[in-house]
């Protein structure tokens, strides 16, 4: 394909952005987060302050990538993400989906790869912010439900990993069990990226020939998933998972 939209400048800006992301992780771990232990003795307050810092850092990162022309984006229904105690479920086409969402959701908890707790760039952020490692399914559900009960929001990708264009979605049932246990109707976020960017098994430097556009559509899931009528059973979890798969498949194709 013909390379347009200042391709080489976008490539240089992308390299700069990812370098800054790694540097930012080190700054959070060694500069910004250590004083929190001295200033805030209450672990819950310290955790909330850490999440506020992460949210601000991610918002700055998203803004940098936008201003430098790496992509454009639109978030429809962004005000719905400001409510506390939400279970936010989204499809997962791109590496930076979670960065977008956390940059917009106050006091957001999320499920992250257990390997990030050993990553020198990210360990400080995920530990101090109290994020949930994905190493134990039952533990994940219990910790997420407890987080929602405390009025925190939880961000989760039901697919468990980034989707592959052209392949049918495969959703795990963890999101359904979280909704059933907490009795919190999910907030659904449909993410579209055209042309695709930062996909699964694609290196960061393989950027699209033209500038991509991210489109986020936020909607409430109360009508889609009537939690009051369901118990926490495998049958109910399967039903909810199928409903979520149908919803995201249809919305992504729209």
User: What is the reported pLDDT for 235?
Assistant: 93
pLDDT-based confidence at 10, cuts 50/70/90?
A: very high
Cβ atoms of 211 and 5 closer than 8 Å: yes
- The mean pLDDT value of the chain amounts to 92
User: What's the CA angle centered on 92, arms 137 and 153, to 5 degrees?
Assistant: 60
User: What's the CA angle centered on 29, arms 28 and 34, to 5 degrees?
Assistant: 100
User: What is the reported pLDDT for 61?
Assistant: 97
For range 92-116, the mean pLDDT:
93
User: What is the reported pLDDT for 131?
Assistant: 93
User: What is the reported pLDDT for 110?
Assistant: 93
163: pLDDT strictly greater than 80: yes
Token pair in block for residue 92:
């997962």
Helix (H, G, I), strand (E, B) or coil at 149: helix
Q: d(Cα 165, Cα 85) in Å, to the nearest integer? A: 32
pLDDT digits (tens, 9 = 90+) for 29-41: 889 998 998 999 8
User: What is the reported pLDDT for 19?
Assistant: 95
The four Cα atoms 250, 82, 32, 118 give a dihedral, to 10 degrees, of -30
Helix (H, G, I), strand (E, B) or coil at 242: helix
Start-to-end Cα distance in the chain: 24
The pTM of the full predicted model, rounded to 2 decimals, is 0.93
109: pLDDT strictly greater than 90: yes
Cβ atoms of 162 and 94 closer than 8 Å: yes
pLDDT-based confidence at 113, cuts 50/70/90?
A: confident
């Amino acid at each position: 394909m013909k390379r347009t939209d200042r391709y080489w400048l976008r490539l240089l800006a992308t390299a700069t952005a990812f370098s800054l992301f790694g540097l930012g992780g080190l700054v959070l771990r060694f500069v910004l987060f250590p004083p929190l232990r001295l200033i805030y003795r209450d672990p819950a307050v310290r955790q909330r302050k850490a999440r506020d810092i992460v949210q601000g850092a991610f918002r700055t990162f998203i803004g940098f990538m936008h201003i430098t022309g790496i992509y454009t984006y639109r978030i429809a229904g962004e005000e719905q993400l400001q409510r506390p105690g939400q279970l936010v479920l989204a499809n997962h086409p791109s590496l930076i989906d979670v960065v977008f969402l956390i940059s917009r959701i106050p006091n957001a908890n999320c499920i992250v790869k257990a390997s990030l707790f050993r990553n020198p760039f990210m360990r400080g952020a995920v530990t101090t912010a109290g994020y949930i490692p994905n190493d134990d399914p039952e533990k994940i559900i219990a910790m997420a439900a407890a987080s929602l009960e405390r009025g925190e929001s939880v961000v989760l990708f039901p697919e468990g990993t980034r989707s592959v264009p052209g392949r049918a979605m495969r959703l795990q049932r963890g999101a359904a069990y979280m909704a059933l246990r907490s009795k919190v109707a999910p907030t659904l976020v449909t993410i579209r990226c055209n042309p695709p960017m930062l996909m699964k098994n694609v290196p960061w430097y393989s950027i699209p020939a033209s500038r991509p556009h991210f489109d986020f559509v936020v909607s409430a899931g109360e009508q889609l998933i009537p939690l009051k009528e369901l118990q926490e059973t495998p049958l109910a979890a399967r039903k909810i998972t199928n409903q979520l798969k149908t919803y995201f498949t249809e919305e992504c194709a729209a």
